[in-house]
Chains A and B, each alone.
Chain A
C-alpha cells in the first residue's frame, strides 16, 4: 500500500503535481462533454462507489493486521486503503472552503458594485477577511515579534472578543423572551413553567439553599436530577431513536441515488 502512494520530494513532487493537474483537467473536460442526461448516472455511480467503500470496510469480516504502529491492529483487505482515501476526502473537503470563499466574494463584489446601504458592509467583509488571511500567512512565514503581535491583536483582541460579545447578546434576548413567553395559558404551559423554574432553581446555590431544611426528596436539586435523569432521558432517547432511523433512511436513499428533487434531477 505504501509503495503505491509513497511520499516524493524535489523534482518528482513537481512531476506528480503536474500529472495530477493534467489528469483532473482531462476528467473535467470529459465530464463537460458528457451529455446532461448521462451526468446523473455518473454522479450516482461515484456516490455509490464512495459509500460502498466504507460500508464494505465496516461489514466485511476482520482479522489481525499487525503494523509497526499498532501491534493489536485488526482489519480486512480494504482497511490499509483507509488512510489514503481519508486524505483524498480531506483534500476534497478543503475545496469546499475555497468554494465558500469564492461564493462570498462573488456576492459581496456584486453588492459593492451596486452601491447603496450594504456596500459598506461588503467593503468591511473584504478588508477584514483579507487582512486576517494576510497576517496569518505572514506570521507563519516570518514569525517575528511584529507579525505575531498583529496576529494576536486581530485574533485574540478582535475575533474572539467579538465572538464572545455576539453570544453574550443572546442572554438579553433570553431574559426578554422568557418573560414574555412563559405564561400559564394552558395546562401544558403551566407544567413547562413549573419545570423550568424547578430546574433553574436546582442548579444554583441560592435555589438549593431555599429548600435545604426540607427532607431531601423535596430539595430543588433532587427534583431537578429526577427530571433530567428520568423524564428527560426517556424523551431524548425516543427522539434519538427516531433521528437515528431517519438518518439511516436518508443516507440509504442518497447512497442508492433514490433521492428526488436534488442535483441529480435538476441537472438531468
Chain B
C-alpha cells in the first residue's frame, strides 16, 4: 500500500507526457459538442464591435507569432469573421515579424466568405518597429507614417484608406497580443483619442488585463482560447476555436485529475505514517 501511494505521487514523466498527448489528440476523433456559457468580457467585446457603424475604419493589431498560434490564431479568426460580417474596413498592423504573414493568411482565407477584397475593404500595413514612436507619429499623420502596405502599394491609393488621415478617423482598436505591449495602444491611442479598444490576450495574460477592463480602458476581452470558443458560439460559426474546444477541456481535466490524485496519495501516505507512529508508540 505504501509503495502504491508513493508511486501515485511520483508518476514517471513519460507517462504524464503520454497521457497529455492522448488527451489532446483523441478529442479530435470524438464528435462531442457542449455549449459554453458566454462570459461578460466576451459579451462586451461583441457589443463593442456591433456598436461601431458599418464602413468605419478600424485598426486590427496583431502581435502574435507561431508560438501562440493555438490561442491567438483562433481569436484572430473569430474576430476577423465578426469584423468582416459587420462590414468594417480594417488595417492589419503588426509589431511581430511573423504576425504580418500569419494574419495575412487568415484574412485571405476568410475574405471570399464575406465578399471582402484586399485593398478595397482591408489592407495589411505589415511589420513595423518601435511601437511607441510609430503610434506617436501615426496619430498625427497616418499616410506619412505608414507610407505603403505589405506589398509596397502606397496606402493613399487604396480605396480602403479613403478619408483616413489621422487617429481621429480610427473608430475602433482591436489587439490580439500575447504580451503586455497592448498598454502602448491604451497609452498612445485609446487614452488620448478616446478610441474604443478591445483585446484578445492568451489565457496567461488575461488576469492582468482585467484591470483595464474594469476601468473601461478596454471595452471587451476574449480570455484565451475559451474566449474564442465563446465568441464563435455567439457568431454561430464552427471555426478553429470550436474544433479545439474538446482538446482544451480534456487537457484541463487531465491536469486537474493528476493534481487531485497526487494530493490524495500524499494525504493518505501522511495518515498511514501517523497511524504507524501511534501504533509503535502504543506498543512501546
Show the binding face of A for B, using Cβ within 8 Å.
Answer: 67, 69-70, 72-73, 82-83, 86, 89-90, 93-94, 155-156, 159-161, 163-164, 166-168, 171-172, 174-176, 178-180, 182-184, 193, 196-197, 200-201, 203-209, 219, 221, 225, 228-229, 232-233, 236-237, 240
Contact = CB atoms under 8 A, between A and B. Distances in A.
B254 A175 contact: yes
Given A161-B66, A204-B252, A205-B249, A236 B208 contact: yes
A95 B68 CA distance: 29
Interface in B148-203: 165-166, 168, 203
Contacts of A73: 140, 166
B252 A172 contact: no
B118 interface: no
B36 to A, nearest CB: 5
B67 to A, nearest CB: 4
A-B CB proximity, top 6 nearest: A167-B67, A160-B66, A205-B34, A69-B141, A163-B66, A70-B166
Per DSSP, chain A at the interface is helix
B138 to A, nearest CB: 10
A86 B137 contact: yes
Nearest to B23: A175
B101 A204 contact: no
Given A171-B251, A172-B20, A193-B259, A228 B11 contact: no
Contacts, number: 165
B130 interface: yes
A82 B168 contact: no
B258 A175 contact: yes
A160 B20 CA distance: 23
A152 to B, nearest CB: 9
B256 A200 contact: yes
A212 to B, nearest CB: 8
B223 interface: yes
Given A73-B166, A176-B16, 16 more contacts: A70-B166, A83-B137, A83-B144, A86-B136, A86-B137, A159-B66, A160-B101, A163-B98, A197-B259, A203-B223, A204-B226, A205-B34, A209-B34, A229-B210, A232-B210, A237-B214
Interface string B247-264: 011111111101110110
Nearest to B144: A69
B207 to A, nearest CB: 5
Interface of B: 11, 13, 16-17, 19-20, 24, 34-37, 39-40, 65-70, 98, 101-102, 129-130, 133, 136-137, 140-145, 165-166, 168, 203, 206-208, 210-211, 213-214, 223-224, 226, 229, 245, 248-256, 258-260, 262-263, 266-267
12 contacts: A69-B165, A90-B129, A160-B66, A164-B69, A171-B251, A175-B19, A179-B258, A182-B259, A203-B203, A205-B34, A206-B253, A221-B39
B240 to A, nearest CB: 14
B37 A221 contact: yes
A179 B67 contact: no
Contacts of B20: 171-172, 175
A176 B223 CA distance: 24
Contacts of A200: 252, 255-256
Given A67-B140, A240-B211, A90 B133 contact: yes
Contact of A175 (B129, B136, B255, B267): B255
Contacts of B214: 229, 233, 237
B107 to A, nearest CB: 16
Given A82-B136, A171-B20, A209-B34, A70 B165 contact: yes
Contacts of A209: 34
A156 B65 CA distance: 11
B207 A228 contact: yes
Contacts of A179: 11, 16, 255, 258-259, 262
Given A175-B16, A205-B36, A72 B68 contact: no
A89 B207 contact: no
B216 to A, nearest CB: 13
Given A93-B129, A206-B253, A164 B210 contact: no
B267 to A, nearest CB: 7
Given A90-B129, A208-B36, A70 B168 contact: yes
Given A184-B266, A203-B203, A225-B39, A172 B140 contact: no
Contacts of A197: 256, 259-260
B84 to A, nearest CB: 23
Residue of A172, A204, A209, A240 most packed against chain B (CB within 10 A): A204
A233 B211 contact: yes
A22 B203 CA distance: 52
Contacts of B259: 178-179, 182, 193, 196-197
